[in-house]
Amino acid sequence: MLRWLTAGESHGPELVAILEGLPAGVPVTAELVQADLQRRKLGYGRGARMKFEQDELHLSGGVRHGVSMGSPVAIRVGNTEWPKWQDVMSPEPVDPSVLQTARGAALTRPRPGHADLVGMQKYGFDEARPVLERASARETAARVALGAVAKSFLGELGIRLVSHTLAIGPVEVPEGAALPTPDDVAALDADPLRCFDAATSALMVAEVDDAHDTGDTLGGVVEVLAYGVPPGLGGYAQWDRRLDARLAEAIMSIQAIKGVEVGDGFRTARRRGSQAHDELVELDGVITRLSDRAGGTEGGMSTGTLLRVRAGMKPIATVPHALRTVDVATGERPRRTISAPTSARCRRPEWSPRRWS
């Protein structure tokens, strides 16, 4: 059983992540993790923050001479912008006078579509800073780092991953389009939106440009494919042993995800039974399936065919042309958000399919 925890705030000194339960002998290097952190920043229409933030990577534990030791893997991702934030986010008490800056001001205008207001209610905060610092999608950098380690582990077992963008806003890859394989990762990374269908990719770029021009943002759909998964992972014996259930939890736990599908998902719900399942046939003496409508799970177990899981992400909530909110301190009703200066200039979709691949 693998367990993992992350810690750290968006503008804090660093993110910290621990992965526990990894066997010994898995190849892990800073280069391997850094590569995925770089890929996390790809994507047409990214906010400016992605560009100047550098991820300073430290392998703090669990790895020696390029392989895991069986002890917990600890990774830190330093924040190169920390010097600008060291008063605002200081763990130690600070003199209130040093907070008399734009960065230090109390964030009293909770942003719609963010955790701000509920977090303040939950913890009794009178401003949103402590909430947005942790609820931020910056935390996914820690997940990507651990995910790179997990991906290396899967690789040792012959399991290879690839993800690709299926939709940006209303622009979708046509049903039945070819699926990428792990050998296509480099090509996907070279596509502006990591879309495997060139014609759709061009339409997606146009959609991003249009959203940009109208001061708006976009969401989308991503699909993760796992090749080489053996049959029998997960189980039907108890509700929380099911592989599909655990994948659904993991994926819905990513910031901004609002929907999860395994295989054909909701489309399967529209089909008739005779068209919805994967028939069993014998080919060269092996019982196999000719289709993968189920997405590689039956009865909560991997079937040995291609595992396919999709996530639907809402558009970034920090919309330039502004949503209504209320200032909890003054009662003002501004059409502006409380975003910190760096990300407030972000005008394009904060959509990051590369979180998994």
- The interface with a second copy within residues 276-295 (CB under 8 A) comprises 276-282, 287, 289, 294-295
Q: Using the rule CB under 8 A, is 130 a contact of a second copy? A: yes
Q: Using the rule CB under 8 A, is 345 a contact of a second copy? A: no
Q: Which of 112, 155, 182, 192 binds a second copy (CB under 8 A)?
A: 112
Q: Which of 83, 198, 213, 274 binds a second copy (CB under 8 A)?
A: 274
CB of 183 to a second copy, least distance (A): 26
Given the complex with a second copy, which of 23 and 38 has the nearer CB atom? 23
Q: Using the rule CB under 8 A, is 73 a contact of a second copy? A: yes
Q: What residues contact 94, with CB distance under 8 A and at least 6 apart?
A: 87
CA distance 356 to 223: 9
Q: Segment 181-240, which members bind a second copy (CB under 8 A)?
A: 211, 214-221, 231-232, 235-240
SS3 for 26-85, per residue?
Answer: EECCHHHHHHHHHHHCCCCCCCCHHHHCCEEEEEEECEECCEEECCCEEEEEEECCHHHH
Given the complex with a second copy, which of 97 and 238 has the nearer CB atom? 238
Question: What is the sign, positive or negative, of the torsion defined by CA atoms of 278, 281, 284, 288?
Answer: positive
SS3 200: helix
Q: Using the rule CB under 8 A, is 36 a contact of a second copy? A: no
Q: What residues contact 137, with CB distance under 8 A and at least 6 apart?
A: 255, 256, 350, 352
CA distance 238 to 223: 27
Q: Which of 126, 321, 330, 345 binds a second copy (CB under 8 A)?
A: 321
Q: Which two tokens stand for residue 156?
A: 């040792």
Q: Which of 35, 38, 54, 66 binds a second copy (CB under 8 A)?
A: 66
Q: Using the rule CB under 8 A, is 308 a contact of a second copy? A: no
CB of 336 to a second copy, least distance (A): 12
Q: Which two tokens stand for residue 36?
A: 């995925």
CB of 289 to a second copy, least distance (A): 8
Given the complex with a second copy, which of 185 and 346 has the nearer CB atom? 346
Beta bridge partners of 6: 17
Q: Which of 314, 336, 339, 344 binds a second copy (CB under 8 A)?
A: 314
CB of 130 to a second copy, least distance (A): 4
Beta bridge partners of 310: 223, 261
CA 140 to chain centre: 6
CA distance 342 to 335: 19
Q: Which of 26, 107, 135, 162 binds a second copy (CB under 8 A)?
A: 135
CA distance 294 to 271: 12
CB of 357 to a second copy, least distance (A): 18
Q: Using the rule CB under 8 A, is 251 a contact of a second copy? A: yes
Given the complex with a second copy, which of 183 and 235 has the nearer CB atom? 235
